Amino acid sequence: MTSKTRFLSIPYVVWMAIFVVVPIIMVVVYAFTAHDGSFTVDNFRGMTDYISVFGRSFYLALIATVLCIILGYPLALVLSREGPRLQRVFVMLIMLPMWMNFLLRTYAWMSILEDTGLLNALLTKLGLPPIKIINTSGAVVLGMVYNYLPFMVLPIYSVVSKLDRRLVEAAEDLGANPFMVFLKLIFPLSLPGVLSGITMVFVPSVSTFAISQLLGGSKNLLLGDLIEMQFLGSAYNPHLGSAIALVMMIIVVICMYVMNKFGEGEETAVVL
Amino acid sequence: MMRKRRSTVISRIFLAVIFIFLYAPIFVLITFSFNSSKSRTQWAGFTLDWYAELFNDASIMNAFSTTLLVSLLAAAIATVFGTVTALGFYCLRKRWRSPLMAVNNIPLTNADIVTGVSLCLLFVFFGSRLKFNLGFGTLLVAHITFNVPYVLLSVMPKLYQLDRSLIDAAQDLGCTPARAFLKVTVPELMPGIINGAIIAFTMSIDDFVISYFTAGSTVSTLSMTIYAMTRRRVTPKINAISSLLFGAVLVLLIIINVREIRQEEAKKRAEAKLRQGAMQK
Amino acid sequence: MSKELIRLSGVSVAFDGEIVLDDMNIHFNDKEFLTLLGPSGCGKTTTLRIIGGFLVPTAGDVFFDNVRINNVPPHKRQVNTVFQKYALFPHLNVFENIAFGLHLVRPKLSKKEIHDRVMEMLEIVSLKGFENRSVSLLSGGQQQRVAIARALVNRPRVLLLDEPLGALDLRLRKDMQNELKRIQQAMEITFIYVTHDQEEALAMSDTVVVMNEGKIQQIGTPEDIYNEPENAFVADFIGESNIVDGFMCADKVVEIFGRKFECVDGGFAPNEPVDVVIRPEDVDIVPEKDGMLTGTVTNITFKGVHYDIIVDFKGFKWLIQSTDPSPVGAKIGIKIDPDGFHIMKKSRYSGMFGDYSSYSAEYDEIGDLEYEPSENEAELEEEMRYDF
């Protein structure tokens, strides 16, 4: 009962206090103070100029997340029906790009989508008119989907592939057609995977700044860009930056909370 | 039967399209790393010049060694730190453990940029008062901070799976508690510890956002250098880095997978042998 | 032979105020096979853990060879344990598992000596040729043998066995019972064996200790325990028993159901209320008119060697075992020899056991399936965090 081992947790508790808790408190404090350190809510008032950026960030992240579900869910299902050897290979192939730096992956799309890029070269060769895609919000969404699709596929796959075959057989035995099997059995059981996938796609999408800068140009400013500018960029103002980060964090937390309530708050494992 | 075959064909086509989507950009990237002109669309002939230039570029090489150093150090420290903490947490009462684990999960669930700017605030604020600058030290601390949660999350389940009677058995056979820890507990936790170390290392290698906010202006990781390069001017050196990294990751993944497959098959064979033996009996 | 080796004196254990062992006084003799027998949560595993050194009693003392060892840690005791579910080290193979303790002996043993002793042990437990196997690829019976070898190779003076056969199937269990007895006799050491299985206890032990609710109910040879149970709990736990209320009219005369019977017990106060145990196999079925008592058959089940027959005597149901069947509804008489009655003093268990009113044919099977070793104790141990 009198175990001294528990004292081993003290160093990390101190570490977390200094490097996790205090920094977040500082964000809150900065958000509510002015340059001279006095209390103010001006930082939040100043944010009204950026409502369009908030709107765009959440809108684009939402579209990217929905697209990831539309592509990722069937992909996970298809994968789980392959033989064990093929499954392993396919899962590896899906993870492989994830292990490559996301800036490089994004850069790859830059050279394809450019006005004089490969895509337009290909279209010209086919006798089609070139399209303007780089520096549009479409390119940003494409970049998000490309970067974060594996984060959607893998959690769903890990749930679906562990689904007991006998459950499907039992449902069929009880008279369910394939559509009903999916609707009544597979989908509800895979929901935790979907929820975890949504979190893993939505959070980085809504807060990204590199993807938008590389593919969206200067017109498609996102929240991430805004925050970055306040800390390291031209518009140096960490108080405003903190306020924006705080508001973003709170909105994300509320979204996740509502979504998890909706999905019966299923706790899901972290999937690498 | 017909319907099933058709659905297989459709799903295969779907798979093919997805994989083209995933790999076409990478393929383009790698191909143009061998292009003798700077163009990103016109093929002008094969060359290895960009690779040569890459290795002669001091800033890239510097960034590469910084990345490697910070990743190795952060992963090693986080692994030890996380494992020790896991033991401590395991012995805590649930009342204490649950809130601490919740705090531990904050860096995992928070957007990277929030973790990054919050640490940036901390370092700048205390840096100006305690006279230190953002640099390798702050970068390392930031990396350790986001690595430990991963180690903790991969070691804790192993601790819960640990059969405590194994430790009793070791002591029963003559181990002091400390020896029992080294000879039984550590080997039992090893898969979780190694897994945690690998995750921590790859997270460090891959990180851009948090490094970007905590490294300051004097130190640069590979991710940060790549970011700067993509923003400045176009050079196929980036393609060359991509190819090398992709190759390294590919080889690593293949090795890991082949090893896993071999182990599984060896186990299956041994089990089959056992069953056979039991049947002959 | 019967030199005292271990003594527990006034030992009590409480977890969070819940008493698990209550003032236990017992001694263990050298070279004997002693079994701690009882249902889940009776304190038998706790007793074993105290002897092994994994648990320090809340009160009382533990002596080993007349030396107090309350605070001697497990690794310094001349005692080894075969754990429930074996606790083999999964990262080590069979040889390394068995050699584990030998590597820790100081002064160091030579490589050859370790090798020889492990090989000798493998021979004793009939596992020659398995030394390089991974323990996870062994069958339950083989794992069991490795666990025994791993403990015995250290030449302990006492081997503690915690439900070692619980995870094996019935056939293997019977084989291992003989094997364990043989090993104990060959090694000439003390075995302290924990089980909830009364057959196992009777078959192997020199001494059986029946425990319940943290208290010793009876200590004795298997024959004593079966033939002369001290209270209704022991009578019911060991074998099948019909237990009825009665009075001792005088020495060797007992009254049940308002009738006097001749018996062999004595030494009670006149008209003292007692519990009377009648074993199902001690009852003979006779034609109704010849019976000492008469009753109606309400149920009959074929059990192989015999039939289990439930007979209703004025609302009280008895279990009778007979090789001849009697149809349900038949009126029968019964006859019991004087030595078929066993008289016990009233205890707190009186009236709780020995009625077959709710008998069902699956009674035995349910009893067997129930095996889930020391649930309560496991839960209590769960409460204690491990110290590394």
In a domain, C71, yes or no: yes
**Terminal CA-CA length for chain A:** 36
C254 and C163 part of one domain: no
Lowest mean pLDDT among B48-57, C150-159, C203-212, C265-274: C265-274
Considering its fold, how many domains does chain C have in total? 2
Cα-to-chain-centroid distance, residue B134:
24
Mean local confidence (pLDDT), A103-117: 87
In a domain, C49, yes or no: yes
Percent of the residues in chain B that have a pLDDT greater than 90, as a whole number: 46
The pLDDT assigned to A245 comes to: 93
Nearest C-alpha in C relative to B90: C385
What is the pLDDT confidence band of residue A263, given thresholds at 50, 70 and 90?
low
Q: C36 with C50: CB under 8 angstroms?
A: no
Q: pLDDT tens digits, residue range C256-273?
A: 888 888 888 888 888 889
Calculate the average pLDDT of chain C: 86
Mean local confidence (pLDDT), A121-136: 87
The pLDDT assigned to A267 comes to: 44
Inform me whether the C-beta atom of residue B168 falls under 8 Å from chain C C-beta atoms: yes
The pLDDT assigned to C368 comes to: 40
User: Which CATH number goes with the domain that contains C294?
Assistant: 2.40.50.140
Other Cβ atoms within 10 Å of A198 Cβ, number: 23
Mean local confidence (pLDDT), B234-256: 84
The pLDDT assigned to C260 comes to: 87
C252 and C221 part of one domain: no
Q: B107 with B146: CB under 8 angstroms?
A: yes
The Cα C192–Cα C158 span in angstroms is 7
Is this prediction's ipTM beyond 0.90? no
Q: With the CA atoms of B262, B264, B265 and B267 taken in that order, what torsion angle do they form, in degrees rounded to the nearest 10? A: 120
C84 and C197 part of one domain: yes
C106 and C129 part of one domain: yes
SS3 C311: strand
Report whether pLDDT(C378) > 80.
no
- Give per-residue burial for C310-336: e unless 16+ CB within 10 Å, then b: bbebeebbbbbbbeeebeeeeebbbeb
Instruction: Please tell me the distance in Å from C209's CA to the nearest CA on chain B.
Output: 24
Phi-psi region of A150 (alpha: psi -120 to 50; beta: other; left: phi over 0): alpha
Cβ B202–A203 below 8 Å, yes or no? no
C60 and C111 part of one domain: yes
The pLDDT assigned to A110 comes to: 87
In a domain, C384, yes or no: no
Which letter does DSSP use for residue C288 in this model? G
Task: Show which of C227, C257, C275 is a domain's final residue.
Answer: C227
Nearest C-alpha in C relative to A4: C387
In a domain, C235, yes or no: no
Q: What are the φ and ψ backbone dihedral angles of A249, each rounded to 5 degrees?
A: -60, -45
Q: A251 with A198: CB under 8 angstroms?
A: no
Q: Where are the domains of chain B?
A: 58-235
Percent of the residues in chain B that have a pLDDT greater than 70, as a whole number: 94
Q: Which fold has domain B58-235?
A: MetI-like fold (1.10.3720)
Report whether pLDDT(A242) > 90.
yes
Substitution target in B18, B139, B181 with the highest count of A β-carbons within 10 Å is: B18
> A152 pairs with which residues across the strands?
none
The pLDDT assigned to B186 comes to: 92
Percent of the residues in chain A that have a pLDDT greater than 70, as a whole number: 95
Nearest C-alpha in A relative to C382: A1
What tokens does B242 get? 């991509």
Calculate the average pLDDT of chain A: 87
The pLDDT assigned to C224 comes to: 92
Q: What is the CA radius of gyration of chain A?
A: 23
Return the number of CB contacts < 8 Å for A and B. Answer: 205
User: Which CATH number goes with the domain that contains C129?
Assistant: 3.40.50.300
The pLDDT assigned to C387 comes to: 41
C167 and C25 part of one domain: yes
In a domain, C40, yes or no: yes
Cβ C104–B87 below 8 Å, yes or no? no
In a domain, C291, yes or no: yes
Cβ C385–A3 below 8 Å, yes or no? yes
Q: Which structural domains are found in chain A, ordered by start? A: 47-234 (1.10.3720.10)
The pLDDT assigned to C370 comes to: 38
Report whether pLDDT(A264) > 90.
no
Instruction: Please tell me the distance in Å from C74's CA to the nearest CA on chain B.
Output: 5
The pLDDT assigned to C2 comes to: 65
- How far CA B241 is from CA of B57, B71, B238, C24, in Å, comes to 12, 18, 5, 74
C322 and C210 part of one domain: no
Percent of the residues in chain C that have a pLDDT greater than 90, as a whole number: 44
Q: pLDDT tens digits, residue range C203-254?
A: 999 999 999 999 999 999 999 999 889 998 999 898 888 898 888 888 888 8
What is the pLDDT confidence band of residue A227, given thresholds at 50, 70 and 90?
very high
Report whether pLDDT(B270) > 90.
no
Q: pLDDT tens digits, residue range A8-47?
A: 999 999 999 999 999 999 999 999 999 888 898 888 988 8
Residue (of B171, B151, B150) closest to B107 by Cα position = B150
The pLDDT assigned to C360 comes to: 54
The Cα C292–Cα C258 span in angstroms is 12
In a domain, C372, yes or no: no
The pLDDT assigned to A169 comes to: 80
Touching B (3+ Cβ pairs <8 A), the chains are A, C
The pLDDT assigned to C382 comes to: 38
What is the pLDDT confidence band of residue B1, given thresholds at 50, 70 and 90?
very low
C174 and C114 part of one domain: yes
The pLDDT assigned to C379 comes to: 39
The Cα C8–Cα C90 span in angstroms is 34
Contacts of A6 in chain C (CB under 8 A): 385
Percent of the residues in chain C that have a pLDDT greater than 70, as a whole number: 91
C130 and C13 part of one domain: yes
B187 Cβ contact partners less than 8 Å away, ≥ 6 residues apart: C89, C91
Q: pLDDT tens digits, residue range B29-46?
A: 899 899 888 877 778 889
C17 and C154 part of one domain: yes
Asked if residue C39 has a cis previous peptide bond (ω within 30° of 0), the answer is no
Contacts of C100 in chain B (CB under 8 A): 170, 173, 183
C223 and C254 part of one domain: no
What tokens does A253 get? 């937390």
The pLDDT assigned to C386 comes to: 40
Q: pLDDT tens digits, residue range B57-93?
A: 998 999 999 999 999 999 999 999 999 999 999 988 8
Touching A (3+ Cβ pairs <8 A), the chains are B, C
Q: pLDDT tens digits, residue range C309-367?
A: 999 888 788 899 998 888 999 999 999 999 889 999 888 888 788 777 666 544 443 33
The pLDDT assigned to A11 comes to: 95
Mean local confidence (pLDDT), C198-202: 91
Provide the residue range defining the domain that includes C338: 242-352
In a domain, C160, yes or no: yes
Cβ A4–C387 below 8 Å, yes or no? yes
Instruction: Please tell me the distance in Å from A121's CA to the nearest CA on chain B.
Output: 8
Q: pLDDT tens digits, residue range B137-175?
A: 999 999 999 999 999 999 999 998 888 889 899 999 989
The pLDDT assigned to A259 comes to: 80
Instruction: Please tell me the distance in Å from B113's CA to the nearest CA on chain A.
Output: 7
